Amino acid sequence: MIEGGSSRNYIETKKLMYGNSGAWSLLMDKLTTVLADFVQQQIEGGAQVIQVFDSWAGALGIEDYRQYCLPATTELVQRIRSLGVPVIYFGVNTTSLLPSMIETSADIIDLDWRVPLTQGWKAVGESRAIQGNLDPIALLGPNKVLRSKVEDILTSANGRPGHIFNVGHGIVPETRVEKVIDVVKWVKRFHSNKEKVIR
């Protein structure tokens, strides 16, 4: 919308954000309105949970995030929650922002692969649900390594309520579908074996 394509540094976006507060505020209002309307249509179409994917928040420092991003995101999350569905909130490379991200009142915070689950829970609060956080590139590696990473995450979660296993970002195009199927099987088998041990 602003950069004209993908970006690592968001130079044009930040120039607008820093240089024209009126335009930035208007843009945030418009995006919130459009996204809330779109989400309502998704819910009417059967969506039972909505994930807000904040792909650029990690490019901001804490103070900039709180000033330029958090108010609009909070408004969006609250509008979605008022429609009666839970909200998952995800940001890429947002370790330092996690304590601020919970102020949106999102039901679940999605962690990227850089944040260990224990650290994520500590940052967002032990009672909050989290989602994550397998490195999506691990899906391109050997099965032995991939399975070990999956089991490490599940062991770290320790069967506690409020953990949704997921990759800690999107799956890259080079990923073979069979690898994703394997991960799903391992997650199910891990939980099945744990239940047998408990019984």
**Of the candidates 87, 66, 69, which has an alpha carbon nearest to the alpha carbon of residue 78?**
87
Q: pLDDT for 60-75, tens place per residue?
A: 999 999 999 999 999 9
Q: Give 7-12's long-range contacts (Cβ < 8 A, gap of 24+).
A: 7/56, 9/59, 10/56, 10/59
108 pLDDT above the threshold of 80: yes
147 pLDDT above the threshold of 50: yes
**Residue matched to tokens 């970006």:** 7
Q: pLDDT for 18-51, tens place per residue?
A: 999 999 999 999 999 999 999 999 999 999 999 9
The span from the CA of 138 to the CA of 121, in Å, is 23
**Of the candidates 163, 159, 160, 135, which has an alpha carbon nearest to the alpha carbon of residue 149?**
135
- pLDDT of 168: 86
DSSP of 27-63, one letter per residue? HHHHHHHHHHHHHHHHHHTT-S-EEEEETTGGGS-HH
Mean pLDDT within 132-140:
95
The span from the CA of 2 to the CA of 54, in Å, is 15
- pLDDT of 199: 39
Q: Taking all residues of the chain, what is their mean pLDDT, rounded to a whole number?
A: 93
Mean pLDDT within 85-94:
95
- pLDDT of 149: 96
